[in-house]
Structure 1
Amino acid sequence: MAKILIIDDERSIRNTLREILEYEQYQVDDIDNGLDALALITKHDYDLILCDIKMNKMDGMEVLTEGLKIHPDLPFVMISGHGTVETAIEASKKGAYDFITKPPDLNRLLLTVRNALERKNLVKETKVLKRKASRTREILGSSPAIQKIKDTIERVAPTDARVLITGANGSGKELVARWLHEKSKRSDSVLIEVNCAAIPSELIESELFGHEKGSFTSAIKQRIGKFEQANGGTLFLDEIGDMSLSAQAKVLRALQENKVTRVGGEKEIDVDVRVIAATNKDLQKEIEAGNFRMDLFHRLSVILIHVPQLTERKEDIPLIAQSFCTEICNDYGMPIKEITKQAMEALKTMEWSGNIRELRNMIERLIILSDKVITDKDVTSFANPNSMTSLAAITKSNHTSNFDRFANFQEYKDFVECDFIKYKLEKNNWNVSKTADAIDIQRSHLYSKIEKFGLKREE
């Protein structure tokens, strides 16, 4: 429910506006002067301000200027009984969303309120999306292993040398690949990512090299493959150890000749692509087992970068946890929560089978379920979603505010279901088929749940 503040020194105007807006299901506060209004704006998170211009103690234009200093994106609708074009222009220049004359027309007022609230939501969503789209998260840590990775990136990135990144699931291999691209001469071009483990073996060749119309039953139109899409840029082949042998042979040829041929096609297409690959498997063992080509391994591993597990660099956990806490709180639009020293120590003692990805999920869970300060007790109670004691802690704890955020039982069920599915997907490296089997539901049903909850793979 949107929250609106009315600022006007005429009680009759305030009462009329309040009655209209409350009838439309808005939450309304009102005040008769600008000084007290600024105190309310500072204290509360309003979605819209309706402000008179001619008032005692402080002029409405001053309230507009000072209010926007407190909340730059807060929409102000100015109201005046002495409206002129000059006044409206001045209000607009100072940042007002709109200007309405007294007595306000009911339809005009409600339309302006709805449009202003929609604009505020769009501005907020745009800022979040831009922040997510533009940022490449820093590689955090000062441990010797991380410093070695940073030094290697600085040396290798400006070249076109192929890089093979190894490490456990969730350790940050994709982040290393992104920085190799960001610091390369190809950074102005695209970075195309392919998760080889998430694509069925019968479709991987079409995904990488494209296909011609009619080349197989479902090929109803021509498709451009990832190699062509990445032309002039970087192609990141994640979990390449899961690629089929037939696709490996074609990738090897593409690396040798810088040419690809679409499935069902005959024409060779020149490509200029830098390939970065990553795997959580021991490729030497995969070669011995006959699952991976030795010649492809040597083509990919001009430079080898190993990303250590989080348990091998626990001294980096406080820095990473605080960074995630700040980022997640900003994304949620809430004050940044404090993580106590004891809580940090508790995080350092835990086992991190999911590495950085698991740590981020745990910090997000702690932010949602804890109070203003995250304590070591919170870590013990809420960090492990598989623990029955964790569930009991949520149910029996005195943190009743945890449940206040749910309007009804269905919202709570959706929250728990979303958290469970997200954890299982992360645990199975976003392999949907494997996750569906693990939690015993149809794959199509799992896809529906992923779409319903808006789940996306984290970097």
Structure 2
Amino acid sequence: MSFAGATILLVEDDASLSRLLAEELEADGYTVRVAGSMADARARLAEHVPDLVVSDLRLPDGDGLQILGLLQHRAGHVPFVVITAFGTVDQAVEALKAGADDFLTKPLSTDHLRLKIRRLLAQADISRQLAEMRGQGDRTLGLLGDSPVMDRLRTEIRQVSRSHAAVLINGESGTGKELVARAIHRQSERRDRPFVAVNCAGIPTELMESEFFGHEAGAFTGARHARKGLFAEANGGTLLLDEMGEMPLPLQAKLLRVLQEGRIKPVGADQEEAVDVRILAATHVDLQRAVSEGDFREDLYYRLETLALRVPPLRDRSDDVGLLAMHFLRDASRRQGRGFMKLSEVASRLLLDYPFPGNVRELASAMERAVTFCEGDVILPEHLPDRIRKRQAGVQMASDAPLTEEISLARLPTLEQVQQDHVSRVMKAVDGNKRRAAQILGINRRTLYRWLENRGVSRND
């Protein structure tokens, strides 16, 4: 993700260090404004609120935390990095409690600082997107995500909302099929009428007909009073039949008749009643396969699938994971009475690397757990579920061939050969860009230069 053009206020009284950092950040495409004192910083902030601030802790006429306080008063939360040559644990804790996002000590690794800046700008961008989406409900339809598959889904929701026909919503468990159904209802002409959702898998088979169509008093043992069914409750509005694939065949036949004629017959009644209900059917089951296996009526399937939507699994919209994680993190922290919380860089990377078989619901649960077990305001890897934290090691182990007596140990590469091969592949992947290669390898450029020179590669090669 590129944040070229973002404005950074650099507050540093050491002129040579200030010049070095400004050159490095400008080379990354940032617009850098420099201040050498508290007074300079105040003047810069009066002119323009930056996207991020990097400030020395000790300044000739004050300290960086005063700038942080001023910035919070004027603009709310702006990413803030404190740097100092006199770093202690107490100072770091004080800075973070005051609202700083990171605390770095001198001598400073410019590569490390640049990585921190990219991470903080990315988190700020996600926060901005969340704020925009909350203020633009009509545009997002209440469905977070800017990936192409979500844009396409929102378009399809708007299209089917214009119709009164039944809609089949397909998708794996946890993808948000009910959210899609509610979005269809809100966009339709029925938005001011009832929306009733029922999980077909949660109703005992012997009670289904009564639950859906109602019953008269005395219709069966225990039916002392007449009762309206779900269709009557949803009259004029929308009825979501979740887990549609669990509906028994006899009830499927009666549902098909409701779709065709718009009439229901309560259990024990002599007369039918007219109802005006739009049916939305959601399922994670392959209904076409269920038809071929005799578990679902073919005529009902074709009636439903005329307007069919597919809710994508989270693995098909991985670009949305960061945005969704921050959304669920904010929701969980608000429910638990916590303040502003954020994800550490490593925790973010673990979430992005995890396939989420449980989809969006699993991600929401992971964020709820993380907030519960986090004592501070930064979510670390240890706050995430074990299955997410340990997957990286598991993938690595699964990819390694087991060492058996049949494998010639002499053919295994040495550590030097493995290292050289990895560095070569990284250098090739970044077209020889040593700065980028050092970043990926997790070392500074000087270390990379020394490593290359020891193997006969000059800095200019």
Q: TM-score range by the shorter chain?
A: 0.5 to 0.7
1:160 aligns with one of 153, 158, 164: 164
How far apart are 1:331 and its partner, in Å? Answer: 2.0
* Corresponding residue of 2:195: 191
Superposed CA RMSD in Å reads 2.5
After superposition, give the CA deviation of every residue in 1:83-112 in whole Å (9 maximum; x if it has no partner): xxxxxxxxxxxxxxxxxxxxxxxxxxxxxx
Question: Which one has a bigger Cα radius of gyration?
Answer: 2
Q: Would the aligned equivalents of 1:339 and 1:375 in 2 still touch at CA under 8 Å?
A: yes
What is the alpha-carbon distance in structure 2 between the residues aligned to residue 237 and residue 382 of structure 1? 32
What is the alpha-carbon distance in structure 2 between the residues aligned to residue 385 and residue 199 of structure 1? 38
Secondary structure of the structure 2 residue equivalent to 1:237: strand
Q: Would the aligned equivalents of 2:197 and 2:239 in 1 still touch at CA under 8 Å?
A: yes
Q: State whether structure 2 residue 234 is matched by structure 1 residue 230.
A: yes
How far apart are 1:194 and its partner, in Å? Answer: 1.0
Q: Would the aligned equivalents of 2:369 and 2:384 in 1 still touch at CA under 8 Å?
A: no
Secondary structure of the structure 2 residue equivalent to 1:301: helix
Secondary structure of the structure 2 residue equivalent to 1:169: coil
Q: State whether structure 2 residue 179 is matched by structure 1 residue 148.
A: no
Q: Would the aligned equivalents of 1:369 and 1:382 in 2 still touch at CA under 8 Å?
A: no
What is the alpha-carbon distance in structure 2 between the residues aligned to residue 385 and residue 256 of structure 1? 52
After superposition, give the CA deviation of every residue in 1:314-356 in whole Å (9 maximum; x if it has no partner): 1111001101111121222210211123312201212322111
User: How do 1:365-384 residues align onto structure 2 when only pairs under 5 Å count?
Assistant: 365-370=369-374, 371-379=376-384, 381=386
What is the alpha-carbon distance in structure 2 between the residues aligned to residue 352 and residue 380 of structure 1? 12
Relative to structure 1, is the Cα distance of residues 275 and 384 closer, same or farther in structure 2, using a 3 angstrom cutoff?
farther
Q: Would the aligned equivalents of 1:210 and 1:263 in 2 still touch at CA under 8 Å?
A: yes
Secondary structure of the structure 2 residue equivalent to 1:161: coil
Secondary structure of the structure 2 residue equivalent to 1:318: helix
User: How do 1:28-43 residues align onto structure 2 when only pairs under 5 Å count?
Assistant: none
Q: Would the aligned equivalents of 1:165 and 1:277 in 2 still touch at CA under 8 Å?
A: yes
What is the alpha-carbon distance in structure 2 between the residues aligned to residue 316 and residue 200 of structure 1? 38
What is the alpha-carbon distance in structure 1 between the residues aligned to residue 385 and residue 332 of structure 2? 20
2:176 aligns with one of 160, 172, 178: 172
User: How do 1:394-413 residues align onto structure 2 when only pairs under 5 Å count?
Assistant: none
2:356 aligns with one of 349, 352, 357: 352
Q: Would the aligned equivalents of 1:206 and 1:225 in 2 still touch at CA under 8 Å?
A: yes
After superposition, give the CA deviation of every residue in 1:112-131 in whole Å (9 maximum; x if it has no partner): xxxxxxxxxxxxxxxxxxx9
Secondary structure of the structure 2 residue equivalent to 1:203: helix
How far apart are 1:215 and its partner, in Å? Answer: 1.1
Q: Would the aligned equivalents of 1:149 and 1:305 in 2 still touch at CA under 8 Å?
A: yes
2:367 aligns with one of 363, 368, 371: 363
Q: Would the aligned equivalents of 1:140 and 1:320 in 2 still touch at CA under 8 Å?
A: yes
What is the alpha-carbon distance in structure 2 between the residues aligned to residue 385 and residue 278 of structure 1? 33
* Corresponding residue of 2:27: none
Q: Would the aligned equivalents of 1:137 and 1:175 in 2 still touch at CA under 8 Å?
A: no
User: How do 1:120-269 residues align onto structure 2 when only pairs under 5 Å count?
Assistant: 138-269=142-273
Q: Would the aligned equivalents of 1:173 and 1:307 in 2 still touch at CA under 8 Å?
A: yes
TM-score (normalizing by structure 1)? 0.53
How far apart are 1:381 and its partner, in Å? Answer: 4.9
User: How do 1:50-89 residues align onto structure 2 when only pairs under 5 Å count?
Assistant: none
**What letter corresponds to residue 232 of structure 2 in structure 1?**
E
Relative to structure 1, is the Cα distance of residues 141 and 252 closer, same or farther in structure 2, using a 3 angstrom cutoff?
same
TM-score (normalizing by structure 2)? 0.53
What is the alpha-carbon distance in structure 2 between the residues aligned to residue 308 and residue 297 of structure 1? 21
* Corresponding residue of 2:318: 314
How far apart are 1:137 and its partner, in Å? Answer: 8.1
**What letter corresponds to residue 192 of structure 2 in structure 1?**
D
What is the alpha-carbon distance in structure 2 between the residues aligned to residue 255 and residue 166 of structure 1? 19
